[in-house]
Amino acid sequence: MNHVEQHYNKIAHSNRPFQTAYLRALNNSVKFKAINTILQKLEAHEKPITVIDLACGRGGDIVKFLKNVCVKRYLGVDISKTSIDEAKNRYGTHMNGCKISLAICNLQQSFPPSRPSSVDFVFCAFAIHYFFSNTIFQRVSRCLRGGGTFLFLKINKERLVEMDGHSTKNLRIRVINEKSYDFFLRGSVDCTEHFVVDSEIFEYAENNSFEVKQICSFVVFFSTRGGCPQFYAEKIQRFINKTSHGNIEEQNQIFSLYDVVILEKKLISLNK
């Protein structure tokens, strides 16, 4: 069992701390809007939508997908058995007309079983840094239909390097070398992660029939997608009212570290 698996097994049953609740509400708002943007595009085809959620954890994003009635099959995978068991207990096998499948999978070594060109949407939140490679792009491309979407969230290397050495009870960042860094976020992360750089995203995308549709910061995405959904806006305001100014500022700094990345699998032309 590697350190990442041990860490997420350890925290699977724990409650997330209030000290980072504001950040989680911000992050959930971005995830909701990003997921909804893709689903609205896909539902225009008027066909059932199949989703794979890589590193799904305890299944916290399942309801974001199932708000769209066109999602008829959801497959979530994670390295942590404890997290997958928790997700199964929370969601079962069916919800809102969607078949839910959950399985253990080490994405550095394997990929969820799926027929070629059978999936519409592959999503990965806050975990691509554990298995980012040309191989994962190849596997995602193989399972996606033409026009399907690969959406993932990553840390921006340049912005994180600017915070190298930051250390508080809620957040610690230490750059190890050009390729990796230690990242501690109270109640969520305490692992060595690997930089996901834009030049390699473009390289792997080109190698595997993807078009890069968008790479932008959470801050830009949050501000240009029609504002915050009301449910999250209310939660965010409650946390602002209950949290110290210094803690809010630090959580805003963390929020600004992340990027949204949207790739679309190219359609194969039959007229060559």
pLDDT tens digits along 45-101: 889 999 999 999 999 999 999 989 999 999 999 999 999 999 999 999 998 899 999
- Predicted local confidence at residue 2, as pLDDT: 74
> pTM here?
0.92
Quick check: is 17 in a domain?
A: no
- Predicted local confidence at residue 226, as pLDDT: 64
Quick check: is 18 in a domain?
A: no
CA of 123: how far to CAs of 32, 204, 236, 249, in Å? 12, 17, 24, 29
- Predicted local confidence at residue 173, as pLDDT: 97
What's 245's domain CATH number? 3.40.50.150
CA of 246: how far to CAs of 8, 161, 209, in Å? 28, 21, 45
Q: What is the mean pLDDT of residues 257-266?
A: 97
Residue 112 pLDDT class (50, 70, 90 cuts): confident
> Which residues span the domain enclosing 148?
3-11+24-265
Quick check: is 259 in a domain?
A: yes
Quick check: is 272 in a domain?
A: no
Domain count, the chain: 1
